[in-house]
Structure 1
């Protein structure tokens, strides 16, 4: 049976004081959470302090992005091995904000996927459609294309060391949320897409929902058979809300 994963994407938020308070709150309530894995993905500069605070706890940490290059003259970039050196387990790859704001292509996301795995990281690969694409009824075309680029890079077997996050772009930071039925339909499509290549990998693949999951809707979303947790944005910045979502996964 697949374990649930609740991963917090802090985005470009936080301060040293706020982070300490947030992590202290999570650590204080972690004993009430069972049956699911927790992770937080802070901005790069806070990773060392987050690692120090979470050492010895069951909460893992990760990065929000990495370069597909291992080293060299790439000013402003961070290599996968660098974040792995600070104990990162996960890295978010291809978030919709990276794709839309910074022009990351499917091919670049696939390169980052390969580089992250080579460094020993578990990529959380984000896929999803915009509102315009959903209204044009091409959700499966878009998500299928994004998935195929990653599968083509190393084969479906490589997904055994990865996580997929479905994030309908129209439901991120808008207050809108895909209905459980809408989310489940795309999660099932993703699993079937992988199963066509490797049924065993598909069965064990964690697929998270990443479109404004909150304590109020988490249980209903995660009750669906193909929704294995959440990639949490705003609610991950408040310990009580983050923990409430984790408890809902039980």
Structure 2
């Protein structure tokens, strides 16, 4: 059974100085937990997190990564750049980037491959909108998106990625899929991974993301194929993060 991962997505929040203060506070309050913690911060915050968290049990990473190694791609951040500041993870294909930056699953697949080739673990996000859920088509929709997003990740690299299921209708809305909903989708994702990666499918951690809070994370992560959570709003407050970690202790 893979170790639970608590991936904290700050989105576009916290300046570098705020990130340093947040990391200092977390380091002084972090409880014993069986989960791995990783902060997914704006790229500009990563040097500050590296300064404060280096040598601790808490990892850090980015909210996006370029599909290119280097070159004339203004504004892009490469895997090598992230690695140089100690980043371990990068989110790819978050629903907000698929929506606002029109990222296709093909682009997501290229970013996932670039991350793995550069020594960064991609957290590959998939999930359905409310219209799909209301039609009862959430499983085939999400699995199609998953297969397309993994099209450039070879079998022998499966253990170097994470998959996050985030029902778009539950992100930042206060609505949360039930633990049963999360578990059923995680089961379907695991079955799809077995078809793609055979015996290596069990090495892939599957996260749930969508209005996760200290009060619901334990029940969600008790589902057999849920191996942690991708947390948005609740990740911004240290007290809340401590509560999430304690719930997984």
Does residue 112 in structure 1 map to residue 104 in structure 2?
A: no
Alignment correspondent of 1:4: 4
Alignment correspondent of 2:27: 27
Which structure 2 segments of 5+ residues have no match? none
The CA RMSD over aligned residues, in Å, is: 1.2
> Matched residues in 1 for 2:153 and 2:215: separation?
38
> Matched residues in 2 for 1:131 and 1:146: separation?
16
SS at match of 1:68: coil
Contact kept? 1:25, 1:240, Cα under 8 Å: no
Cα shift at 1:197 = 2.9
SS at match of 1:216: coil
| 1:72-97 C-alpha deviation (Å, 9 max, x unpaired) | 11111111111111100000000000
What's the TM-score, normalizing by structure 2?
Answer: 0.96
> Matched residues in 2 for 1:19 and 1:72: separation?
29
Cα shift at 1:18 = 2.5
Cα shift at 1:25 = 2.1
Does residue 131 in structure 1 map to residue 130 in structure 2?
A: yes
What's the TM-score, normalizing by structure 1?
Answer: 0.96
SS at match of 2:207: strand
> Matched residues in 2 for 1:227 and 1:192: separation?
13
SS at match of 1:154: coil
Contact kept? 2:170, 2:210, Cα under 8 Å: yes
Q: Tell me the matched-pair count.
A: 249
Q: What pairs up with 1:91-106 in 2 under 5 angstroms?
A: 91-106=90-105
Which structure 1 segments of 5+ residues have no match? none
| 1:115-159 C-alpha deviation (Å, 9 max, x unpaired) | 001110000000100001111222122211121123321334322
> Matched residues in 1 for 2:156 and 2:141: separation?
22
Contact kept? 2:16, 2:44, Cα under 8 Å: no
> Matched residues in 2 for 1:165 and 1:113: separation?
13
Q: Which contiguous aligned blocks of 4+ residues in structure 1 show a shift greater than 6 angstroms?
A: none
Cα shift at 1:34 = 2.3
Alignment correspondent of 2:217: 218
